[in-house]
Amino acid sequence: MKRFIFLINFILVFHLANAQTKAISFDVNGLKVILKSTQKETVSMSMFFKGGVMNYNAERAGIENLALAAAATCGTKNYSVVDYQELADEYGIDISGSSRTDYGTISMDCISKYLDQGWKLFSDAVINPAFDKTEFQTTKERMITGIYHSQSDPETRIEQLTMESMFKDSPYSINPLGTSKTVGGFTAEMVSNYYHSELLNKNKMFLVVAGNITKEELEKKIQASFSGLKGKTYTPPVYDRKTLTGEHLVIEQRDIATNYMSCIMNAPTMTNADYYAFVLTINALSGSMNYELRTKLGLSYAPGATVKVQQIPYTSMFVSTTQPKKAFKAMISVYNNIREGKYGERYLEALKKEHRDRYYRHQESASSIVKDLGEAEVLGDYSITENMVANFNKVSLQDMKDSFAKYLKGAIWIYLGDEQVGRAAFQ
């Protein structure tokens, strides 16, 4: 009897604790805030800026990434560059800024007992960035070095080719890092003007926090630091979600020992009811590719498939190989097996368990919690990530087959390597 009562109490405590860790949202002076209180020894937060590459044209590619990086590193009106960096080092505070395809962020991580110090630096970087010219030049040179590295890295280049090919003639194809030419032409004044006129707008921003802090404590900090934040009219971008049809081949000649291949296909958005079944199907495709091309045939070290989750998502089935023709045939064979539904209930349950385990491991990090909640909010609603496990658990075998048939109807094949060998592989 005692054991039974203990078990009931344990379950009640568990569910109470679980309920307390659910993320909540609220507004403070018009700024949306998403908070997930935890018992972790670290606190993580990000100020999100909506729009991403839809905020600027190709001639200004990279300006937002540079603006947010510089805001987080080039001092503030209240702290010189040296003072800012010394305080961050003294208290182990990590502050950074960057921009991606759909959004930008200024982020801060610190241990809980130094939250006050971290908040001061973080909030000042958001509200009062100084864009110190000397430090700005250093930051800009670091960004340009990163651009050169991304162009020489085959895997990153494949991703860039994917965006350029799939969203040709659309602003969505813009590389958020920019080019060495565009970034090289930006001045501290230009970037400061962009930050203050285009980004610093509470209607375009929202704050996500995860850590050992209460709603009341966070509200007080926001009131003190962001009360002067202005709001301007913001119209969210409209995304042209066209469906791929037919098959197309894009080849870029590279003198490299290993050739890189990627098959790009359609995918549902994160807010679509088909999303969960589709992701599990692509997970099945990825696992089968790894077994067939790596373990069984030895054609590639790291083949797989994934869903690129963004405002206009896509599926990528990828492989790096010295034998493109054999790899291509093997990829098609695996694809056809998954399309025909050659897997059963036990395999589906294994896929669900793998996804649950990955989700819970990911939630162990405060910064991962912030990233997941923020991305979900950008793509539709932060609660998507909170309900993720339950929705994956509802998926049936028929759901997977239906989603595969519905979305995988067209393809763009991307090839990076020896052009002659590549063309022969796809014949």
% of the chain exceeding 70 in pLDDT: 95
Assigned token pair, 53: 């590459």
**231-289 pLDDT, tens digit each:** 999 999 999 888 899 999 999 999 999 999 999 999 999 999 999 999 999 999 999 99
pLDDT at position 54 is 96
In 3D, which of 377, 285, 366 has the Cα closest to residue 333?
Answer: 285
pLDDT at position 11 is 40
Tell me how many degrees the CA angle 49-51-56 measures, rounded to the nearest 5.
110
CATH of region 246-425: 3.30.830.10
User: In angstroms, rounded to a whole number, what is the distance separating the alpha carbons of residues 324 and 90?
Assistant: 52
User: In angstroms, rounded to a whole number, what is the distance separating the alpha carbons of residues 108 and 367?
Assistant: 9
pLDDT at position 409 is 86
pLDDT at position 56 is 96
Contact at 8 Å (CB) between 33 and 209?
yes
**356-394 pLDDT, tens digit each:** 999 999 888 999 999 999 999 999 999 999 999 999 999
User: In angstroms, rounded to a whole number, what is the distance separating the alpha carbons of residues 420 and 342?
Assistant: 35
pLDDT at position 18 is 43
pLDDT at residue 321 tops 70: yes
pLDDT at position 363 is 87
pLDDT at position 341 is 85
pLDDT at residue 354 tops 50: yes
In 3D, which of 39, 38, 6 has the Cα closest to residue 22?
Answer: 38
Which region holds residue 45: left if phi is over 0, alpha if psi is between -120 and 50, else beta? beta
Given pLDDT bands bounded at 50, 70 and 90, which one contains residue 29? Answer: very high
**303-316 pLDDT, tens digit each:** 999 999 999 999 99
Arithmetic mean of pLDDT, 163-167: 93
User: In angstroms, rounded to a whole number, what is the distance separating the alpha carbons of residues 379 and 388?
Assistant: 14
Which residue ranges does the chain devote to CATH 3.30.830.10? Answer: 25-226, 246-425
CATH fold label, 25-226: Cytochrome Bc1 Complex; Chain A, domain 1 (3.30.830)
**201-217 pLDDT, tens digit each:** 999 999 999 999 999 99
- Number of H helices and E strands in the chain, helices first, is 17, 11
Arithmetic mean of pLDDT, 95-103: 98
pLDDT at residue 163 tops 90: yes
Mean pLDDT, rounded, of the chain: 92
pLDDT at position 40 is 86
Contact at 8 Å (CB) between 45 and 122?
yes
Q: Report the amino acid identity of residue 260.
A: Y
% of the chain exceeding 90 in pLDDT: 87
Strand 246-253 relative to strand 42-50: parallel, antiparallel, unpaired? unpaired
**172-210 pLDDT, tens digit each:** 999 999 999 999 999 999 999 999 999 999 999 999 999
